[in-house]
Amino acid sequence: MRELFGAYALGAFFGGLLFTGVANAQMKVSSFDGPVTEEELKSFNDHVATLKPATDNKGNQWVQGHSGELTKAMGLVYQMAGQQETLDQMLRFCDAVLSERNDLAKAPVGQHKIWTGGIDPVWPNNITQNPIQTGGGEGDPVGHLASCAYLILKTDKLYNQKVTTGDPHKYGATYLDRAKTYLKQADFSMTTHILKRLLDLSNGNKMYFAKDAPYMGGKPVPWNQQMMFNYAFMNLCNAHRILNDNPKLLAEYNSILTASIDWFFHGGGVQTKKGKKGSSVYDWGYTVPRTSGEDSNHGALDVAGFYRTYIDGHCGITANQMKPFANMFVDVMTLGDKRYAGTVDGRTDGEGHAKPTNNIRSGYLFLAEFRPDAYKNMMSADLVVGGKGTGSADGFSRFLWVKNQRAKAK
């Protein structure tokens, strides 16, 4: 069962996006140092403008598949640079993901009875199952909607402007109207399925799957899936903070998010060790009670989730708490030139998600912020200055973010 909601990155990464034309525009690195350039941002915007969103969530397209990762990438780049063309493309994808929700989409995409017995507001990744399951992947589509709502709400100059790309689904003609629709529908999915049926929070708001859930029923939610739920909780909190419209719901979301972070850092989720080079490094497992040997694929998803929460700032994660992740990747997982261990404790004998790689999974790129000595080696492993460019929006967006962080720090 670990494969179902843990393997988003493999099966879905290569089939999630539909392309317009024969080839899509490539994203190009102008330089590794200095501020992010207009050329780099233009190459990102030109690239995403050529892509079409997935037409359903089969294979977790909207989770860790192409469309899900691309939506997160657009949100990150807009948060960094604030260019309206980036946000407009994100709206195009968020319109699509909302329209494909089970209760809103027509058959065969939607209208499926799931394990609860109802046509719930969810995004099933496999409608051939009996019963149709849900798991941590429900967090990401909700997170996309909440993230986009938050980014609009923090840009008040857009409120009364009509959305540049139009309103094909009647979700709101202006940016403010669109944000309110996204937030309302994100809340609806969160409160009527995830909180009502999918999660059991009776143990101090720690995330367990409901005992009667067919997927991992009664078990702790794996860390990579907690990061998906936390992506939603974090952005729902941020949107409601700006609107100041529902303090009770805001407090509930925030308490669950905080409990998840505390569980990992202070409740036995992770152990701190001395790496082979003497640095403090983290070791953790796929889900509690395991505290060692998380595989490379899930580890990258975990790291990306914790970094999102770090830059958000509301949970109090510090740079000092993030650095052992970076030390782990640089001093333990990095084995040599383009050689990376298959687990966070440095093993090289695993298979599947735990198999060593010759490329850096993009979630780890965020960690270069905390190890400036390894920044260029990490970024140049898969990116080059000039050249043919890359088609990996998630990797490129994370490069831009770290490059910008370095430029601001000087």
320-353 residue pLDDT tens: 999 999 999 999 999 999 999 999 999 999 999 9
Residue (of 71, 74, 70) closest to 86 by Cα position: 74
pLDDT at 306 over 60: yes
Identify which of 74, 112, 80, 110 has the alpha carbon closest to the alpha carbon of residue 94: 74
pLDDT digits (tens, 9 = 90+) for 193-206: 999 999 999 999 99
Question: What local confidence, expressed as pLDDT, does residue 389 receive?
Answer: 85
The H or E element containing residue 329 is none
Cα–Cα dist 246/240, whole Å = 7
pLDDT value at residue 172: 98
Confidence of residue 388 (pLDDT cuts 50, 70, 90): confident
The pLDDT of residue 1 is above 80? no
pLDDT value, residue 9 = 32
Residue 17, pLDDT score? 30
The whole-number pLDDT of residue 25 equals 80
In the chain, how long is the greatest CA-to-CA distance? Answer: 57
Query: Do residues 122 and 142 lie in contact, with contact meaning Cβ atoms separated by under 8 Å?
Result: no
Q: What's the whole-number mean pLDDT along residues 284-302?
A: 97
- Average pLDDT of span 15-38: 70
Instruction: Indicate the average pLDDT of the chain.
Output: 93
Distance between CA atoms of residues 259 and 5, nearest Å: 22
Closest CA to 179 of 157, 142, 140, 151: 151
CA distance 46 to 50: 7
Mean pLDDT for 90-106 is 98
Say yes or no to pLDDT of 102 above 90.
yes
- pTM for the structure as a whole: 0.94
pLDDT at 19: 26
Residue 140 scores a pLDDT above 70: yes
**What is the rounded CA–CA span in Å between residue 116 and residue 113?**
8
The mean per-residue pLDDT over the stretch 234-244 comes to: 98
Strand partners, 270: 284
Question: Rounded mean pLDDT of 366-381?
Answer: 96
In angstroms, the CA 114 to CA 98 distance is 18
- Report the pLDDT value the prediction gives residue 22, as an integer from 0 to 100: 31
pLDDT of residue 16: 28
pLDDT confidence bin for 276, thresholds 50/70/90: confident
Sign of the C-alpha dihedral computed for residues 375, 376, 377 and 379 taken in this order? positive
Residues 123, 124, 126, CA angle at the centre, nearest 5°?
150
DSSP 105-128: SPTTTS----TTSS--S---S-TT
Separation in Å, CA 137 to CA 120, 122, 132: 14, 9, 13
Q: Given this model, what pLDDT does residue 349 score?
A: 94
pLDDT at 325: 98
Q: Is the pLDDT of residue 387 over 90?
A: no
Question: Does the pLDDT value for residue 410 go beyond 90?
Answer: no
> Mean pLDDT throughout 360-371?
98
**pLDDT higher than threshold 50 for residue 4:** no
pLDDT at residue 8 is higher than 70: no
Element of type H or E holding 170: none
**Is the confidence at residue 284, as pLDDT, over 50?**
yes
Give mean pLDDT, residues 356-379.
97
Q: CB count, 10 Å around CB of 184? A: 12
pLDDT digits (tens, 9 = 90+) for 57-78: 999 999 999 999 999 999 999 9
Per cent of the chain over pLDDT 90 is: 90
Q: CA-CA distances (angstroms) from residue 148 to 97, 212, 344?
A: 12, 32, 32
Q: Calculate mean pLDDT across residues 221-235.
A: 98
